[in-house]
Amino acid sequence: MCRHLAYLGPPRTLAELLTAPPHSLYQQSWAPLRQRHGTVNADGFGIGWYPPEDGTEPARYRRAVPIWADPNLPDLTRTIRSAAVLAAVRSATAGTSQDEAAAAPYRTGRWLFSHNGAIDDWTGLPADAGLRLDAAELLAMEASCDSALLWVMVSRRLRAGDTPGDALAAVVRQTRAARPGARLNLLLTDGRSIAATRHGDTLWYRAAADRVTVASEPSPTPDGWREAPDQSLLLATRHTVRILRLSGTPAGAPAVPVAERTRT
Ligand code: GLN
C-alpha cells in the first residue's frame, strides 16, 4: 500500500504540506504507522500541484527513486507554493511497471488521481467490470499498473459527466464485484474539491475553517484528525467534508451520508 495525501486551502509550500509536519508523507515513506500491506514506500513518489492563479493543468514532479533519495526535492519543496496539492509515496505492487510513469498522481486535464491498494490479476479483469478499453484508452494508459487502469475507468466516467464521487464509487463497486479482495483507496482532485474512497486501507482527514487535508495516515498527535470509516466515500472542499457510505449501496443509488461537516 502506498500512502497518499491531498490538500486544499491557503497557499503553502510543498515543504509545509509534505515534508515538515510531524509524521509527514515524507516520513511515511520509510516509517508508516498504519500501513496494512507492505512495509516501506520506496518505489517512487509523485507530487501534483496547481500553480497559483493559473486555471490550467496542474504540474507534476514524479520520480522512481525513494523520496528521501532525491537531492532535488528540498529546493523544490521550499520554493513551490500551492493552494491545492495531491502527492503519494509508492510501494509497487508485483507485476506493475517500476518507472516514474507508474508513480501517482496520474493526470488528465485538471484532474489528479492516486490509488492506495492492489487488484489481484488486474490484467485479467473481465469486460463486465467496465473494461472494454478502446485503442485510444489503452494507449493513453500512463503505465502498466492496476492504478493506471483504475484511472482509465474513473476518467472515462468523468468525461461522461459523472460527479467525482459517483465516478469513484462506481469504479469501486465494479472492481470489487469482479475482484472481492481488491483494495481500493482512491483519491481524486481537480484543485477545488477532493473525492476519496476508503476500501481496504486507512483514510483520515483534518478540516479547519478554510482548509482540508485528506491522507492515508494522520499525525500521531490528536490535533483534529478524524478517521473515515471503512467502505466510505469522502467528499471535501476547502469548507466542507461529507462522508457517505460505500458498502451495500446498490449501483446507481444515492449514498447515505454518515457524517457531514460544514464551516464557512
Ligand atoms: N498498485 C499500485 C501500484 O503498484 C498501488 C500500490 C500501493 O498502494 N502500494 O502503484
Q: What is the pLDDT of residue 43?
A: 95
116 lines ligand 1 (CB under 6 A): yes
Average pLDDT of every residue of the chain: 91
Structure letter (DSSP) for residue 254: P
Q: What pLDDT is attached to residue 258?
A: 47
pLDDT of residue 54: 64
**pLDDT score at 52:** 81
Residue (of 4, 204, 199, 39) closest to 119 by Cα position: 199
Ligand 1 centroid distance, CA of 264 (Å)? 36
Which of 1, 2, 80, 149 is an active site residue? 2
Quick one: angle between helices 146-159 and 164-178, nearest 10?
130
- For ligand 1, atom 10: residue with the closest CA: 92
Per-residue pLDDT tens digits for 180-215: 999 999 999 999 999 999 999 999 999 998 999 999
Q: How far is the CA of 23 from the centre of ligand 1 (A)?
A: 20
Share of the chain above pLDDT 90, in %: 78
CB 215 within 8 A of CB 4: yes
145 is catalytic: no
Cβ atoms 187, 193 nearer than 8 A: no
234 touches 195 (CB < 8 A): yes
Model confidence at 38, pLDDT cuts 50, 70, 90, reads confident
What is the model's pLDDT at position 259? 53
The 10s digit of each residue's pLDDT in 71-118 is 999 999 999 999 999 999 999 999 999 999 999 999 999 999 999 999
How far, in Å, from the CA of 263 to the mean position of ligand 1? 34
Residue of 257 and 204 predicted with greater confidence: 204
Question: Per-residue pLDDT for 264 more than 50?
Answer: no
Which alpha helices (DSSP H) does the chain contain, by range? 14, 25-28, 73-79, 135-140, 146-159, 164-178
Q: Among 116, 185, 202, which is best to mutate for testing ligand 1, by the most ligand atoms less than 8 A from CB? A: 116
Taking the C-alpha atoms of residue 13 and residue 52, their distance in angstroms, rounded to an integer, is: 11
CATH of domain 2-262: 3.60.20.10
The DSSP-derived string for 71-113 is TTHHHHHHH-EEEEEEEEE--PPTTS--SGGGSSPEEETTEEE
Average pLDDT over residues 232-256: 76
- The reply to whether ligand 1 has any atom less than 6 angstroms from the CB of 187 is no
User: What residue segments make up the domains of the chain, in order of their start?
Assistant: 2-262
Q: What is this structure's pTM?
A: 0.93
Where would I find the beta strands (DSSP E) of 26-77? 45-49, 59-63
Quick one: pLDDT at residue 137?
A: 87
pLDDT at 256 over 90: no
Per cent of the chain over pLDDT 70 is 92
Phi, psi dihedral angles at 86 (to 5 degrees): -135, 125
User: How remote is the CA of residue 92 from the centroid of ligand 1, in Å?
Assistant: 5
pLDDT tens per residue across span 43-55: 999 999 999 876 6
